[in-house]
Amino acid sequence: MKDFWVIDGHCDSILDFLEGKRSLTAPQEGGHWDIQRAKEGKVILQFMAAFIESQYKPEKGTLRGLELIHALHRFIQANTENVVLIRQKKDLADLHPSKVGCLLSIEGGEILGNSLFLLDIIYELGVRALGLTWNQRNAIADGAGEMTQSTLTQFGEKVIQRMNELGMLIDVSHLNEAGFWHVLKLSTEPILASHSCAYALCPHPRNLNDEQLKALAHNGGVVGVNFYPGFLTQEPKASLYDVVRHIQYIAELAGVDVIGLGSDFDGIDDTPAGLEGADKYGDLAEALHHAGFSGKEIEKIMYKNFMRLLSTVLK
C-alpha cells in the first residue's frame, strides 16, 4: 500500500527558498517539504505555490509574484538532476518519482493587478495554475475571508476566459462561495480546489460545503484535501485519520473521482500527527486501505484524479 505515486496540489515551500531559509534538498533543514522527502513519499508532481504575502498587496503584488516565479526557476536550475518543470500535457508522460515534477502555481490573483496581459506573461514564464484570490478582495473577486456574496468582477470574467484559452488550471480554494458558483458557470474546463476540506466536518469558511463538493465532482474537477488541522477538526490536534475522515466523507457524498491531496505543506504552522512531511504519504495510503478503500480508489486519490484533470486542461 505504500508504493502509490503521489500528486500534491499545494505546498508553499518556495517561499523558504526565496528567503534563503532552506535549499529544499534535505529534511535536516526543517520544514515539511524537500526533494529527499518528496522522493521518499513517491511524489511525482508537486504544485509549487507562489504565495504573495499581504504586505505586498496591492501595489507590489506583481513584483513579489515575479520574485517567487524566478525563485522556483532558480530552484529547478540548481537541482536539474532531481526536479523538472511541468509546462505541457506531453510532460506528464515522463513523470516518475526518480525526478520530481514541479507545476508552478500562483496563490492570489494580485500578481495580475488589473492587467489581463500579465496573465499571458506569467503563462510564458511557466505558470500553469492560478488561485484567483487569497482570503482578501482583489480585482478578480472576493476571497473567503471577506464573507461576502459578491460574484466575479468583469475583469475576473475575462481572466476565466483567458485561462481556459491558455490551458491554465483555475484554482478556487480561498475564493468566496458566490465566486465559486460564478467560476463554475463561466469555465469551459474542469476546475480545481487545490487545498480545501469538507465544511460539514469542520465549518471553516475556507472549506467547501456539500453542494460545492457535488458540483465540483459533476464538473470533473478535483478538491485537494488540505492537511491543516484547523480545516480538519475543531479539536486542538489533528491526526492522519482526520484526513482519512474528510476523504471518506467526500467519497460518500460526491464520489472518489473528485478527491486529490493538497497538503499545504510549509504554508501551515502545524501538521496532523502522522503526516509531518512529504515522506509520509505511504502511511496515508495505508490508512486509506484500512478504512476500506480499494487499491484502484487509493490510486485515484493519490495521483490519478489530478493526472486526469491536468491531462484535460493543459495544452
3-class DSSP state of 27: helix
C-alpha cell at 83: 526536479
For the segment 179-191, the average pLDDT, to the nearest whole number, is 98
Distance CA 185, CA 169 (A): 15
Determine if the pTM surpasses 0.85: yes
Cα three-residue angle 144-145-149, rounded to 5 degrees: 55
Mutual angle of helices 61-78 and 117-124, in 10-degree steps? 10
For residue 255, the 8-state DSSP code is -
Taking only Cα atoms into account, the Rg of the chain, rounded to an integer number of angstroms, comes to 18
Other C-beta atoms closer than 10 Å to the C-beta of 281 total 25
User: What does the DSSP 8-state code read for residue 309?
Assistant: H
Which percentage of the chain shows pLDDT scores above 70?
Answer: 100
Residue 2's pLDDT is: 79
Bridge partners, 193 (sequence order): 223
Q: Note the pLDDT tens digit of each residue in 28-81.
A: 999 999 999 999 999 999 999 999 999 999 899 999 999 999 999 999 999 999
Q: Give the pLDDT confidence of 246-298 residue by residue, as tens digits.
A: 999 999 999 999 999 999 999 999 999 999 999 999 999 999 999 999 999 99
Average pLDDT on 154-159 reads: 98
- pLDDT at position 146 is 95
Mean pLDDT of 135-156: 96
Beta strand pairing call for 83-85 and 100-107: parallel
Answer whether residue 312 shows pLDDT above 90. Answer: yes
Q: Which set of grid coordinates corresponds to residue 62?
A: 506583481
H helix count then E strand count, the chain = 12, 9
Has residue 1 got a pLDDT over 80? no
Q: Which three cell numbers stand for residue 189?
A: 474546463
CA distances from 96 to 9, 84, 101, 107 (A): 16, 11, 8, 26
Cis peptide before 27 (omega within 30 of 0): no
Contact, 284 vs 240, CB < 8 A? yes
Q: Which residues pair with 96 in a beta bridge?
A: 99
- The CATH number of 6-313, from 3.20.20.140, 3.30.160.270, 1.10.357.10, 3.40.50.720, is 3.20.20.140
Instruction: Report the mean per-residue pLDDT for the chain.
Output: 97
